């Protein structure tokens, strides 16, 4: 239908569009909004037939609101029509009404849709990534804020040892002398540790499963202040080749521990039990005077440590401290060793030789195992004690010596006096003051502290991380009678650390005699092994090697021999 003739210019334009495949359709709308005529490819865009004389916007929804044009042209690009084709709708104002032109844009819309879809998908992806990044940043900031609030320094360390990240607390805590703690440097620069601490930290850092290892304690000087830190290492969950180290500032705790330790550690002796605290005080008291002190205690209780402590706390501390193991001397040599000899005084006396009494001049001498000294030597020692002078073997002239004499024994000297093995007057002379050391079984409350102290010391000596001592191990240690006392405990801990594989001491790491004892504890009906049986078992286990057997039992070699003699043990018994 084409009741209204097309203007020539419009007709030429539409013909050109037709040739270009735009499939034009057109209609004339009168000034009153009614449809007057239409033509072209109208069926291509509209499903419903058009009616002349009816309002155009009743028949074509897209025209609602657009009419009348009031002299202004209008354009609606890419309108989805009733037939699901896209068309550009143009309204051209004309005298007496308006021309509506529809031009197919389906291909153009399809192309644009493809491009637009890809573009929008990418933009959405980017927006999502940015959002996730923001969330991640916020999450990290929260974590860091928490770490800072908790006073925990976090340091990320690359596989090559380079520090790649420090949180704010770490920057403050680990600030170096020039006030910087920048990343990109080896951790050794950030943490100037002594070689032992550096080795322990390096071992923790390179451990396959650092979370299973105990924390390492470090002392670090930063900005002139000594800080005590505990280092805890974890795998970086984002890249397990990297490590995240958390440093906990325990300086204050360390100071408090130090104050506490003053009571539990005295001159390398450890103990916080009442008997040990009394002993520490006694040592302080006798150290102030020059009196001879007799130190009594079972083997392995630390008699020599007491002697060293008395010397270290005495005014003679800058003088020599000499230990003489009296049980180790033969009868023929003891006089010469103690008092010296003159050249030619006996066959092997090829030169003048001073004895240990003279060597200790100005200091302290410890006569260990004094109960094993032969009677004739006891007389000479008595003279040295009373006169403070000695006579070298082969000489007749006495020499003055300024020494303090300490004596130690695991024997009951009064019993030895009764048996005629020890001079009563010498006993009185050396027992001016007495320090009696309690056996470990009488101060069991010290066992956990001693065990941990020995574990830390043994680990440090071996450049290892101190293992955690499991509660079952502590229970076994507490149950054992410790005939070899503290020395045996230390040896047991060393033995267990050597066997320990995963940073946690377990019962099966302990020496078998302790385990046997713990098992017997669980079966009280089982008879306790006698000391002789223990000696034989240890000798068998060590194939008769005396040093190893004594070490295994936590007793000295001399004590081992003495006990073997006491029980009449011969090689035939353990072979």
Partner 1 sequence: MALKRKICMLGAFSVGKTSLVSRYVLSIFPEKYLTTVGVKIDKKTVEVNGQETTLLIWDLYGEDAVQQVRSSYVRGADGCLLVADGTRPETLEAARRIRARMETELGPLPFVLLLNKCDLQDEWCIDAHALAALQDEGWSVQRCSARTGEGVEEGFRMLVGNLSEAAP
Q: Quote the least distance from Cβ 31 to partner 1, whole Å.
A: 17
b or e along 204-238 (b: 16 or more beta carbons within 10 Å of the residue's beta carbon)? bbebeebeebbbbbbebebeeeebbbbbbbebeee
In the complex with partner 1, the residue whose CB is nearer, 86 or 559, is: 86
Q: Quote the least distance from Cβ 121 to partner 1, whole Å.
A: 8
In the complex with partner 1, the residue whose CB is nearer, 74 or 432, is: 74
Among the residue ranges 59-67, 381-389, 425-433, 532-540, the one whose residues contact partner 1 (CB under 8 A)? 59-67
In the complex with partner 1, the residue whose CB is nearer, 124 or 212, is: 124
Of 16, 64, 219, 256, which lies in the binding site for partner 1, with binding defined by CB under 8 A? Answer: 64
In the complex with partner 1, the residue whose CB is nearer, 68 or 161, is: 68
Of 62, 213, 366, 381, which lies in the binding site for partner 1, with binding defined by CB under 8 A? Answer: 62
DSSP class of 153 = E
Cα distance between residue 545 and residue 548, in whole Å? 6
Of 57, 94, 230, 304, which lies in the binding site for partner 1, with binding defined by CB under 8 A? Answer: 57
Of 75, 164, 206, 281, which lies in the binding site for partner 1, with binding defined by CB under 8 A? Answer: 75
Q: Quote the least distance from Cβ 75 to partner 1, whole Å.
A: 6
Mapping DSSP onto H, E and C, the string for 92-141 reads EEECCEEEEEEEECHHHHHHHHHHHHHHHHHHHHHHHHHHHHHHHHHHHH
82 to 101: interface string for partner 1, x by CB under 8 A:
----x---------------
Q: Quote the least distance from Cβ 42 to partner 1, whole Å.
A: 17
In the complex with partner 1, the residue whose CB is nearer, 77 or 96, is: 77
The sign one gets for the Cα dihedral 306, 312, 316, 318 is: positive
Q: Quote the least distance from Cβ 65 to partner 1, whole Å.
A: 2
Kind of pairing, strands 340-341 and 293-296?
A: unpaired
Site for partner 1 in 119-158 (CB under 8 A): 119-121, 123-124, 127, 131
In degrees rounded to 5, what are phi and psi of residue 290? -100, 5
Among the residue ranges 71-79, 95-103, 255-263, 267-275, the one whose residues contact partner 1 (CB under 8 A)? 71-79
Q: Quote the least distance from Cβ 126 to partner 1, whole Å.
A: 11
In the complex with partner 1, the residue whose CB is nearer, 16 or 107, is: 107
Cα distance between residue 564 and residue 569, in whole Å? 5
Instruction: Provide the token pair at 269.
Output: 């002796």
Q: Is 76 in the site for partner 1 (CB under 8 A)?
A: yes
301 CA to centre of own chain: 32
Instruction: Provide the token pair at 45.
Output: 């865009």
Of 10, 17, 18, 74, which lies in the binding site for partner 1, with binding defined by CB under 8 A? Answer: 74
Cα distance between residue 403 and residue 400, in whole Å? 9
Cα distance between residue 118 and residue 124, in whole Å? 10
Q: Quote the least distance from Cβ 27 to partner 1, whole Å.
A: 18
Of 5, 77, 186, 192, which lies in the binding site for partner 1, with binding defined by CB under 8 A? Answer: 77
Among the residue ranges 55-63, 230-238, 396-404, 513-521, the one whose residues contact partner 1 (CB under 8 A)? 55-63
Of 117, 206, 530, 543, which lies in the binding site for partner 1, with binding defined by CB under 8 A? Answer: 117
In the complex with partner 1, the residue whose CB is nearer, 12 or 125, is: 125
Spatial contact of 184 and 162, defined as CB atoms under 8 Å apart: yes
**Beta-bridge mates of residue 436:** 296
Among the residue ranges 57-65, 178-186, 221-229, 264-272, the one whose residues contact partner 1 (CB under 8 A)? 57-65
Beta-carbon neighbour count of residue 396 at 10 Å?
A: 7
Cα distance between residue 252 and residue 227, in whole Å? 9
Q: What is the DSSP string of 291-321?
A: --EEEE--TTS-HHHHHHHHHHHSTTTTS-E
Among the residue ranges 61-69, 148-156, 360-368, 515-523, the one whose residues contact partner 1 (CB under 8 A)? 61-69
Q: What is the DSSP string of 3-56?
A: -SPPPHHHHHHHHHHHHTT---EEEEEETTSBEEEEEESGGGT-SSPP-TTSBH
In the complex with partner 1, the residue whose CB is nearer, 86 or 245, is: 86
Q: Quote the least distance from Cβ 221 to partner 1, whole Å.
A: 48
Of 61, 209, 221, 386, which lies in the binding site for partner 1, with binding defined by CB under 8 A? Answer: 61
Cα distance between residue 220 and residue 362, in whole Å? 39
Spatial contact of 52 and 3, defined as CB atoms under 8 Å apart: yes
Q: Which of 185, 209, 205 is nearest to 246 (CA)?
A: 205
Q: Which residues of this protein are in contact with partner 1, per CB under 8 A?
A: 57-58, 61-62, 64-66, 74-80, 86, 105, 109, 112-113, 116-117, 119-121, 123-124, 127, 131
């Amino acid at each position: 239908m084409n009741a209204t003739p097309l203007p020539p210019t419009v007709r030429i334009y539409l013909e050109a569009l037709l040739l270009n495949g735009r499939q034009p359709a057109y209609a004339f709308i009168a000034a009153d909004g009614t449809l007057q005529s239409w033509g072209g490819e109208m069926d291509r865009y509209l499903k419903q037939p058009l009616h002349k004389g009816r309002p155009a916007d009743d028949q074509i929804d897209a025209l609602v609101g657009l009419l009348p044009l009031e002299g202004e042209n209008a354009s609606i690009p890419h309108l989805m029509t009733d037939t699901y084709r896209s068309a550009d709708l143009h309204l051209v104002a004309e005298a007496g009404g308006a021309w509506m032109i529809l031009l197919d844009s389906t291909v153009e819309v399809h192309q644009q849709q493809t491009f637009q879809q890809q573009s929008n998908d990418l933009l959405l992806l980017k927006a999502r990534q940015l959002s996730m990044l923001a969330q991640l940043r916020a999450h990290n900031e929260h974590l860091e804020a928490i770490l800072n609030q908790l006073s925990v320094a976090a340091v990320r360390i690359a596989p090559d040892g380079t520090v790649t990240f420090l949180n704010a607390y770490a920057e403050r805590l680990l600030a170096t002398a020039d006030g910087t703690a920048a990343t990109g440097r080896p951790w050794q620069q950030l943490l100037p540790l002594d070689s032992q601490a550096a080795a322990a930290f390096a071992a923790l850092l390179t451990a396959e499963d650092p979370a299973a290892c105990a924390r390492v304690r470090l002392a670090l000087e930063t900005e002139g202040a000594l800080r005590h830190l505990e280092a805890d290492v974890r795998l970086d969950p984002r890249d397990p080749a990297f490590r995240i180290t958390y440093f906990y500032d325990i300086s204050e705790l360390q100071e408090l521990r130090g104050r506490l330790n003053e009571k539990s550690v005295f001159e390398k002796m450890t103990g916080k039990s009442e008997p040990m605290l009394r002993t520490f005080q006694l040592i302080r008291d006798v150290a102030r005077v020059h009196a001879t002190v007799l130190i009594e205690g079972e083997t392995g209780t630390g008699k020599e440590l007491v002697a060293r402590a008395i010397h270290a706390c005495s005014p003679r501390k800058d003088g020599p401290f000499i230990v003489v193991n009296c049980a180790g001397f033969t009868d023929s040599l003891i006089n010469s060793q103690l008092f010296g000899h003159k050249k030619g005084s006996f066959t092997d006396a090829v030169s003048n030789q001073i004895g240990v009494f003279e060597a200790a001049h100005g200091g302290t001498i410890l006569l260990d195992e004094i109960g094993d000294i032969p009677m004739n030597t006891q007389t000479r020692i008595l003279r040295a004690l009373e006169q403070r002078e000695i006579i070298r073997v082969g000489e007749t002239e006495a020499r003055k010596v300024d020494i303090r004499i300490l004596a130690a024994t695991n024997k009951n000297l009064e019993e030895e006096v009764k048996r005629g093995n020890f001079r009563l007057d010498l006993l009185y002379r050396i027992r001016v003051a007495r320090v009696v050391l309690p056996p470990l079984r009488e101060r069991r409350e010290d066992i956990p502290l001693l065990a941990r102290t020995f574990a830390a010391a043994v680990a440090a000596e071996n450049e290892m991380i101190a293992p955690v001592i499991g509660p079952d191990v502590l229970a076994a240690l507490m149950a054992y009678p410790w005939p070899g006392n503290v020395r045996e405990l230390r040896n047991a801990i060393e033995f267990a650390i050597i066997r320990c594989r995963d940073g946690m001491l377990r019962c099966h790491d302990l020496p078998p005699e302790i385990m046997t004892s713990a098992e017997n504890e669980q079966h009280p009906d089982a008879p306790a092994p006698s000391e002789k049986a223990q000696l034989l078992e240890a000798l068998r286990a060590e194939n008769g090697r005396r040093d190893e057997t004594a070490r295994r039992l936590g007793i000295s070699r001399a004590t081992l021999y003495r006990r073997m003699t006491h029980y009449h043990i011969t090689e035939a018994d353990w072979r």
